[in-house]
Amino acid sequence: MELKDVQSLPDYRRIEIDKVGIKGIRYPISVLDRSQGLQHTVASINMYVDLPHHFKGTHMSRFVEILNEYRREIHIKKIPCLLDTMRKRLCAKVAHIEIDFPFFLSKKAPVSGEEALMEYGCKIYGAKGENFKDLLLEVRVPVMTVCPCSREISDKGAHNQRGLVRVQVRFSRFIWLEELIELVEGCASCPVYPLLKRPDEKYVTEKAYDNPMFVEDVVREVSRHLLAHPKITWFAVEAENFESIHAHNAYAFVSRKK
């Protein structure tokens, strides 16, 4: 007996849908790694296409089928091909994908050299139509800052806090996740480390004290480096400090097209 394809039935309300698809599917992926070649991780993935007004629904199972076909090659160089497959298989004009995943780097403590894995949140946004494509890369980097005002007015010490810097970039040529992470870490009072011994703690606190930065300083420094980067065509930078002496967080944001 032939089963009825309800999704393909006509709809008479004449309203196109901009995005329809699946959200929050957890899936193993491989990500390009500068030192190891590939890194295996687990992503949360959203996939959408547009839906013409005359179709009642889209075929949700096809998103998972496509994901399964590309499961060993889901990295930024393969995204345009994946999006084209989505458009063709689902008879869509535009396809979108969002891939959010943890990325791990082996990081050495500054004095002892003790090594451990550090986690960074990363995301790839992709969209492709017949005459356009858009790729956007995001990294979320924890940092440490020391308040310049606190250091200036205090006789003893200064308050410090951990913060999170989120950078999104569009680019003309391939760029490594590691490159963006290192750029951000160099623009704070001090990087955050996964493992510190006592000599490392001394180094980190003194380094941060000697390099105080407001949240405004952080976004400006990151922006300065991104503006000078030859591969980056657009960027957005936001920094949020999880304040240690206030009941609120501090926030700053910059967006620029080059």
- Between 122 and 10, name the one with better pLDDT: 122
- DSSP notation for 179-193: HHHHHHHTTSSEE--
Average pLDDT score over residue span 60-69 = 91
Q: Report the 10 Å Cβ neighbour count for 217.
A: 18
Residue 78 binned pLDDT confidence (cut-offs 50, 70, 90) = confident
For the chain, what is the mean pLDDT? 92
Tens of pLDDT, residues 203-255: 999 999 999 999 999 999 999 999 999 999 999 999 999 999 999 999 999 99
How many beta carbons lie within 10 A of that of residue 63, not counting itself?
Answer: 24
Residue predicted with more confidence, 71 or 28: 28
For the domain spanning 6-257, the CATH number is 3.10.270.10
pLDDT band at 8 (very low <50, low <70, confident <90, very high): low
- Cα–Cα nearest to 242, from 250, 254, 232, 252: 250
Alpha carbons within 13 angstroms on the beta-carbon side of residue 100 total 10
Per-residue pLDDT at 3: 66
What is the spatial distance between Cα 88 and Cα 85, in angstroms, rounded to a whole number? Answer: 5
Interval 139-148: pLDDT, tens: 999 999 999 9
Tens digits of per-residue pLDDT, 116-141?
A: 999 999 999 999 999 999 999 999 99
What are the φ/ψ torsions at residue 39 (nearest 5 degrees)?
-125, 130
Is the pLDDT at 1 greater than 80, yes or no? Answer: no
Contact call for residues 21 and 50 (beta carbons, < 8 A): no
- CB neighbourhood size of 246 (10 A): 12
Cα distances from 29 to residues 3, 63, 111, 142, 221, in angstroms, run 34, 15, 34, 23, 33
Give residue 51's pLDDT.
86
Q: What is the mean pLDDT of residues 79-106?
A: 95
Res 184: pLDDT: 98
- Tens digits of residue pLDDT in 174-194: 999 999 999 999 999 999 999
The percent of residues above 90 in pLDDT, for the chain, comes to 79
- The per-residue pLDDT for range 40-59, each reduced to its tens digit, is 999 999 999 998 777 776 78
**pLDDT at residue 166, rounded to an integer:** 98
Give CA separation, 126 vs 12, 75, 94, 131, 178, in Å: 31, 11, 10, 14, 20
Q: How many CA atoms lie within 13 A of 65 on its CB side?
A: 8
The SS3 call for residue 198 is helix
How big is the CA angle at 232 (ends 217 and 216), to the nearest 5 degrees?
10
**Domain definitions of the chain by residue range:** 6-257
Nearest alpha carbon to residue 40 among 65, 72, 67: 72
Contact 188, 167 (CB under 8 A): no
CA distance 224 to 251: 18
Distance CA 202, CA 209 (A): 11
Q: What is the pLDDT of residue 4?
A: 64
